[in-house]
Amino acid sequence: MKQEKLRKLLNDMSLEEKIGQLVQLSGEFYKANDISLGPQQKLGITQKIVDLSGSVLNVTGAKATKEVQDHQMSVQPHHIPMLFMADIIYGYKTVFPIPLGLGATWDPELVRKGFNIAADEGSAAGNHVSFAPMVDVVHDARWGRVLESPGEDPYLNSVFAKSMVEGFQDKLKDGAGQVACVKHFAGYGGVEAGREYNTVDMSISNLYQNYLPPYKAAVDAGSKMVMSSLTSLNGVPTTGDKWLLDDVLRKAWGFNGLIISDYASIYELIKHGFAKDETDAAHKALNATVDIDMKSPCYAKRLQELVTDGKLDETKIDEATWRVLLLKNELGLFEDPYRSVSEEREAKSILSDSKRKVARELADKALVLLQNKNGILPLKKDEKIALIGPYANEKLLLGMWAVHGDPNTSVTIAEGIKEIAGDNLKTAKGTDLIRDAHLLKEIGYFTDEEIDKMISSEKVEQKNNDEAVKIAQTADTIVLTLGESTLEAGEAGAKTKLTLPENQLHLIDRLSKLGKKIVLITISGRPLVLTNVVDKVDAIIEAWFPGTEGGHAIADILYGKVNPSGRLTMTFPYAVGQEPIYYNHLSTGRPQVGSQHVGRFVSKYLDAPVTPLYPFGYGLSYGSSEYKDLKLSSHKLTRNSSIKVKLTVKNTGGYDRREIVQLYIHDQVASIVQPVKRLIDFKAVKVPRGQTKEVEFEIKASELTFYDNLGRDYLENGDFDVFVGKSSADCLKETFELSE
């Protein structure tokens, strides 16, 4: 509708109606399917406010959303349509690899296509807003939510933030898009000790340089919503932080969309010790310009009294309500509350072959080959394969945040391999995924009876072990599928141990004594510590939670139908004690290499190396390649010039390759010390076997800025290193000088 008509609607609405638009509840309040995973506390709000509420969380499906929409509009005095919002983080029904795997594709264009698909399915299911992309920079694999992020690098996360937002919103105009809601603003990935919901505290220069850029990239790409974080940042809970949400996000960045709190985070301002009670919490969140209160009672119960008691100007509520009405109007909901959603369109859209094809391509590119001793991969079709492990025939390959996905539609690893190996394949479970009753209890979703059933008796475990050994003895190659369970990673999935569990290690030990080739496929939502298995297996593939087409993609890589090109976007530690560990760290005054000190008096551990097991940007492909002839067009850069960086990439092996050529810089001297390396560009280059490609980058002064502790960006003259390579630890090097 026209804005003046919308403005008239706002003016005609009662205060209670306006407040209702700022309240978001989940399905159980509307007798609809409710799959919200968060804490199920009772909110103590009136049915009146439920009837007036303006948006709903995680109710999806053409039928369900129509029923809720019809009911809510019928009981609303002005029949205002609801906004339907859901966690469609990496796919709705066609589920892609987890974002830590999507990041490993280094293919933002393909990821954008994937998010087009997520939006097509989600919108066909009646959903309007996806609570994604999550672009938190992550440094600590102990934190379960690293699963949801593209990784540890601010530049790469920014590239994916843009492609994911555009992927969601590209087709909004024709009803096949979804509103993106970038999260969690800001800095949730910096939780201390990787402990879930823990404190986040960092310098302003670190915040601006390493944590804010991906959110800004999402806002610059047009993300229409932003979600605040559950955490405090430098002592202020972000959901009540007027500086962060109003001064930075709205005023400095020009964001004029909707801010939604994270689940119950307005109420949690009380638990943080930032608000005295629900009224104080509501006041502080609205003052910080949070528009929608997700699943907390504060706005619903307390805003009205704040206005009637004269403590809150009603115009503040008008501003928030106006932003909600604007988004509904932009989506055309007043003209068509269902956005032409139909069960027929839903059925046609979901899990179509073309969508599965993209999911498979994304999974093909997400898998990372970490080790391939003696080139035992790719497998040959006639090799006898013993596929062993709890993931061999497991459908649960979707990861914790695929809350709308149906595991029954996913392709298992056994199904994927069988399509190629046929009768050359034998499978055995070998061991349980988890045999730790305490861990299963802590995961919090299983009854004691269920836990008892999930853990085989010692006798059955021994039998599973023996069966695995038996089929392994008659095989040429063992393919081991081990890792963590779906609910060990993701939200509320923080862990202090990142090694494989004892029972899985025991199975590896037994099988490694058979003298057979062993390929380990790890299924995980985070970097694991694989240090204690690298010498027991020949090849290792990190498959993440690979999604609906996971089994096909794993087989594609195992048999060389696709040459693996995935490259890690998060560091794999040598030991969990190294966490947080990331490539773009500072030098310190006593770096282990190049320090004026010797022996123990350098920045190191006594009981472990400072280097990771696998660094950022690392991954193998079949065959080999050589990077050489790195040349700069000039060794002098000014603010108005640029430098061309060239090198040649030669395919020296027998396979066509997709090279991820990475460009890093290092500012040697600056008034705020700079990271030893910083990714500023990359190119995915296809290099057919036997061929050589010239690769070119351009460096401009604007890419060299850094931030001080007042959040001001700087550019300082001086010498810079340029690194170009296959990973952050394998680069050619040159230098140049920046001057006026």
User: Which residues have a catalytic role annotated?
Assistant: 262
Joined together, the tokens standing for residue 580 give: 């947080």
Q: Judged by CB under 6 A, which of 491, 538, 579, 659 binds ligand GLC?
A: 491
CB of 491 to ligand GLC, least distance (A): 6
CB of 197 to ligand GLC, least distance (A): 9
CB of 301 to ligand GLC, least distance (A): 20
Identity of the residue, 263 or 614, whose beta carbon is nearer to ligand GLC in the bound complex: 263
Q: Where are the beta strands (DSSP E) in 593-677?
A: 625-632, 636-637, 642-651, 657-667
Determine the size of the site formed for ligand GLC (CB under 6 A): 10
Binding mask 693-722 for ligand GLC (x = CB under 6 A): ------------------------------
CB of 85 to ligand GLC, least distance (A): 8
Is residue 49 a contact partner of residue 29, using CB atoms and an 8 Å limit?
no
The C-alpha atoms of residue 164 and residue 145 are separated, in whole angstroms, by 18
The torsion region of residue 483 among left (phi > 0), alpha (psi -120 to 50) and beta comes to left
Please state whether the peptide bond connecting residue 186 to the residue before it is cis, i.e. omega within 30 degrees of 0: yes
Residues near 309 by beta carbon (within 8 Å), at least 6 away in sequence? none
Residues 122-181 that bind ligand GLC (CB under 6 A): 131
Q: Judged by CB under 6 A, which of 262, 291, 488, 549 binds ligand GLC?
A: 262
CB of 232 to ligand GLC, least distance (A): 14
Binding mask 8-47 for ligand GLC (x = CB under 6 A): ----------------------------x-x---------
Joined together, the tokens standing for residue 75 give: 């009981």
- Spatial strand order in the sheet of 636-637: 636-637, 730-738, 718-727, 657-667, 678-687
Parallel/antiparallel/unpaired status of strands 477-483 and 385-388: parallel
The C-alpha atoms of residue 418 and residue 687 are separated, in whole angstroms, by 30
H-type helices in 486-549, by residue range? Answer: 502-512
- 449 burial (CB, 10 Å; 0-12 / 13-18 / 19+) is exposed
CB of 40 to ligand GLC, least distance (A): 12
Q: Is 404 in the site for ligand GLC (CB under 6 A)?
A: no
Identity of the residue, 157 or 662, whose beta carbon is nearer to ligand GLC in the bound complex: 157
Residues constituting the chain? 740
Joined together, the tokens standing for residue 709 give: 């502790």
Q: Is 87 in the site for ligand GLC (CB under 6 A)?
A: yes
Identity of the residue, 230 or 539, whose beta carbon is nearer to ligand GLC in the bound complex: 230
Identity of the residue, 86 or 731, whose beta carbon is nearer to ligand GLC in the bound complex: 86
Identity of the residue, 264 or 540, whose beta carbon is nearer to ligand GLC in the bound complex: 264
CB of 58 to ligand GLC, least distance (A): 6
CB of 412 to ligand GLC, least distance (A): 28
The C-alpha atoms of residue 173 and residue 348 are separated, in whole angstroms, by 20
Token match 């969380």: residue? 57
- 44 burial (CB, 10 Å; 0-12 / 13-18 / 19+) is exposed
Is residue 579 a contact partner of residue 611, using CB atoms and an 8 Å limit?
no
Residues 56-75 that bind ligand GLC (CB under 6 A): 57
CA angle 477, 483, 484 (to 5 degrees): 160
Identity of the residue, 131 or 168, whose beta carbon is nearer to ligand GLC in the bound complex: 131
Is residue 564 a contact partner of residue 114, using CB atoms and an 8 Å limit?
no
Identity of the residue, 57 or 370, whose beta carbon is nearer to ligand GLC in the bound complex: 57
Is residue 722 a contact partner of residue 217, using CB atoms and an 8 Å limit?
no
What is the chain's alpha carbon radius of gyration, rounded to the nearest angstrom?
A: 26
Identity of the residue, 136 or 166, whose beta carbon is nearer to ligand GLC in the bound complex: 136
Q: Is 183 in the site for ligand GLC (CB under 6 A)?
A: yes
Contacting positions for ligand GLC (CB under 6 A) = 36, 38, 57, 87, 131, 183, 230, 262-263, 491
